[in-house]
Amino acid sequence: MITHFHNKPVSPARIVILGAGGFVSSAIQHKLEALNTNVLPLTQDMLDLTHQGAGTKLANLLHADDALLFVAAKAPVKTESMLIENLHMCESVCEALRLSPVHHVVYISSDAVYADSNLPLTESSCAQPGTLHGIMHLAREVMLSNAYSGPLCFIRPTLIYGSEDPHNGYGPNRFLRLVAKGEDIILFGEGEELRDHVYVDDVAELVSRVLLHCSNGILNVATGEVISFRDIAELSVRLSGKNSQIKQTIRVGPMPHNGYRAFNISSSYSAFPDFKFLPLSKGLVLCYNDSVK
């Protein structure tokens, strides 16, 4: 649950984006610039948070009336060395915040921090990650909480899709690219897992609102609707009108999250009553149209 420092949107003097140029950060930057917000985007080439002295360098760039949006990460985290590298990045940010505190900090975390549950997740659900990726995000949240005492918001999105996604992740992003080329979709098992998928522009919209309201607390970003990967594959094939086939494979290992990852999104609507998530069926159309341009 989050609370707002500003009941109505107020643009910060400047929003500094760490990790600019990525899939999610670019969508947020475009949204903020459309709102005529002053943005300082910092890419990895401009500021590598893994380098020695990065904390001091960042501190010299920050102003007391800035909002800091921390998106930079090397993800998904698959190895112990990647975990340590990501924690070093956060160490640099924490050092900068101690040297040069800002007005507001927003961190893009992940729903991977939560333990598996047979019930829809909320912001108060148990944060007990079972993956290195989830451990990384939760550790970063704790580090930031210890280093910074001002308004701090953790955004925990679920699976994000969009035509510019670089990871070609299993689900909408990969399925749409395959059917656009007339290729078959290969499911894990029968594709029966039920998951929530959120469109990247919806993530950008909510993050922008959090920044303009100077929100504090935790906000999950998910649509509240779950759908199986098979259903997404079938929607993708119908959308393309091509002869792509949907094929099953023998599953190796257990289903992630026991095949179920749902969310109670009442906090999103309490925080922003006028906001509506884009239905997956409409998001798929947008992504497919982009993929065939």
**287 in Cβ contact with 197 (< 8 Å):** no
- Considering only the C-alpha atoms of the chain, give the largest distance between any 2 of them, rounded to a whole number of Å: 59
CA distance 91 to 82: 14
290 within a domain of the structure (yes/no): no
Total number of domains in the chain? 1
Cα 232 to chain center, whole Å?
20
Secondary structure (3-state) at 261 = strand
Q: Residue 228's closest CA among 166, 172, 285?
A: 172
Place of tokens 């992504």: 287
What is the predicted pLDDT for the residue at 167? 84
Q: Closest Cα partner for 95 from 155, 45, 47, 153? A: 47
In a domain, 153, yes or no: yes
Question: How many angstroms from the chain centroid is the CA of residue 82?
Answer: 18
Q: 80: domain range?
A: 2-160+199-224+262-277
The burial class, CB within 10 Å (0-12 / 13-18 / 19+), for 197 is buried
The amino acid present at 218, given as its one-letter code, is I
**Does residue 149 lie within any of the structural domains?**
yes
Examine residue 131 and state whether it is found in any structural domain, yes or no: yes
Q: Is residue 194 part of a domain?
A: no
Query: In the prediction, which pLDDT does 293 show?
Result: 65
Tokens of residue 188, six digits: 């894990």
**Is 283 part of a structural domain of the chain?**
no
The predicted pLDDT at position 292 comes to: 67
- Averages of pLDDT over runs of 10 residues in the chain (293 residues) are 94 97 97 96 96 97 98 95 98 98 98 96 96 97 98 97 89 93 95 97 98 98 97 95 93 89 96 96 91 68
Whether 259 and 194 have beta carbons less than 8 Å apart is answered as yes
* The residue to which tokens 């001002």 are assigned: 150
Query: Using CA atoms, how far apart are residues 293 and 291, in angstroms rounded to an integer?
Result: 6
User: Is residue 193 assigned to a domain?
Assistant: no
Number of H helices, E strands in the chain: 9, 14
| pLDDT value at residue 249 | 93
8 Å CB contact between 110 and 133: yes
CATH number, residue 150: 3.40.50.720
Does a structural domain hold residue 123? Answer: yes
